[in-house]
């Protein structure tokens, strides 16, 4: 089951009938089921009950109820041997958006995107389960660390993959991460421009600040803090280096909560029994040029352990999604043709 969500009507969808809008975004949802949702008021347009024939207007917000995926087509290809039905259902439950070109998943913390040493269960091994009605298997176009949760985009065709990969490489993708860091940054918002280098050790690969490494840039802003002991930090990476946000936060003197690899014992709050000892880093939103045209945004709810911490620390997750909006127009003009 996909959780309750709200999707904003985009410019290129202006004037489209509501039932055709659903056909584009949720092709496996039958018309009869949509009509049932509308009769019960489970689907709403700007909070109001409507009929399937109404034409949507740019900027309107469509309420999408939790959708069961029992009507999904049978898989055309076999799954990897180590993937169970429970794994498939978990991944299907993580789908937060789907159209003809992309699928967006709210990746659970602890699930790897690709395999590696000692990692046999990962999203790449389960992509066939997200094929639905398409002839092609979905394709990975970017990565998230295993312990990082949040928005992960998948391309549904080779053409879409090429388009989106180019967008990532040319920095036309706007990514927003939320984190809890231990302590309070001395400067509440700014830009971190610090080169990073991978180093191997007997404990495995680790990334360190090194002036001879690859340039890494992160914009950050303080959203809220709890008694100066922990801070809700929003970050917008301009580059995509391995462990970039984790290293940059540690170098600020405020390691990400739960990140013992880069923060050691300083990455944990003493006496905070209401907080899980997991990495508190979440890919909250991605804005990107859509293959159909226009600029599109996908937003992902916090993972369960981070929701728990937000409540414990007194943070209001509805306060903001993207605190960088005040200079975003300039960023857009510089990065998107």
Strand 95-98 to strand 139-140: parallel, antiparallel, or no bridges (unpaired)? Answer: unpaired
Name which of 113, 98, 118, 198 is nearest 149 in CA terms.
113
Bridge partner residues of 236 (DSSP): 219
Q: Is 322 a catalytic residue?
A: no
Tally of CB atoms within 10 A around 16? 17
CA-CA-CA-CA torsion sign (323, 332, 161, 21) = positive
Q: Is 160 helix (H, G, I), strand (E, B) or coil?
A: helix
Are the beta carbons of 177 and 282 closer than 8 angstroms?
A: yes
Are the beta carbons of 190 and 207 closer than 8 angstroms?
A: no
Q: What letter would DSSP give residue 135?
A: S
Of the residues 19, 100, 145, 276, which is catalytic?
145
The catalytic residue positions are 145
């Amino acid at each position: 089951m996909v959780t309750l969500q709200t999707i904003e009507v985009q410019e290129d969808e202006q004037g489209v009938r509501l039932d055709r809008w659903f056909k584009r975004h949720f092709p496996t949802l039958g018309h009869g089921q949509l009509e049932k949702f509308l009769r019960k008021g489970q689907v709403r347009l700007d909070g109001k009950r409507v009929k399937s024939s109404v034409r949507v207007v740019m900027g309107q917000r469509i309420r999408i109820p939790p959708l069961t995926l029992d009507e999904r087509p049978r898989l055309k290809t076999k799954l990897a041997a180590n993937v169970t039905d429970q794994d498939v259902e978990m991944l299907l439950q993580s789908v937060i958006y789907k159209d003809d070109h992309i699928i967006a998943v709210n990746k659970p913390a602890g699930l790897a995107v690709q395999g590696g040493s000692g990692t046999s269960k990962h999203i790449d091994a389960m992509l066939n389960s997200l094929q639905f009605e398409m002839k092609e298997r979905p394709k990975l176009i970017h990565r998230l660390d295993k312990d990082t949760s949040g928005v992960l985009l998948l391309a549904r065709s080779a053409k879409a993959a090429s388009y989106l990969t180019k967008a990532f490489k040319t920095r036309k993708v706007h990514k927003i991460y939320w984190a809890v860091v231990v302590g309070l940054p001395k400067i509440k918002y700014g830009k971190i421009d610090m080169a990073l280098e991978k180093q191997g050790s007997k404990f495995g690969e680790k990334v360190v600040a090194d002036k001879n490494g690859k340039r890494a840039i992160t914009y950050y802003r303080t959203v809220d803090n709890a008694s100066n002991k922990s801070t809700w930090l929003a970050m917008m990476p301009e580059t995509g280096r391995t462990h970039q946000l984790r290293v940059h936060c540690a170098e600020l003197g405020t390691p990400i909560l739960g990140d013992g690899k880069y923060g050691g014992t300083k990455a944990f709050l003493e006496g905070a029994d209401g907080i899980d000892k997991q990495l508190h880093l979440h890919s909250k939103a991605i804005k990107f040029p859509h293959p159909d045209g226009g600029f599109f945004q996908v937003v992902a709810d916090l993972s369960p352990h981070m929701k728990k911490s937000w409540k414990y620390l007194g943070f209001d997750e509805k306060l903001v999604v993207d605190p960088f909006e005040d200079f975003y127009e300039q960023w857009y003009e510089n990065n998107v043709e």
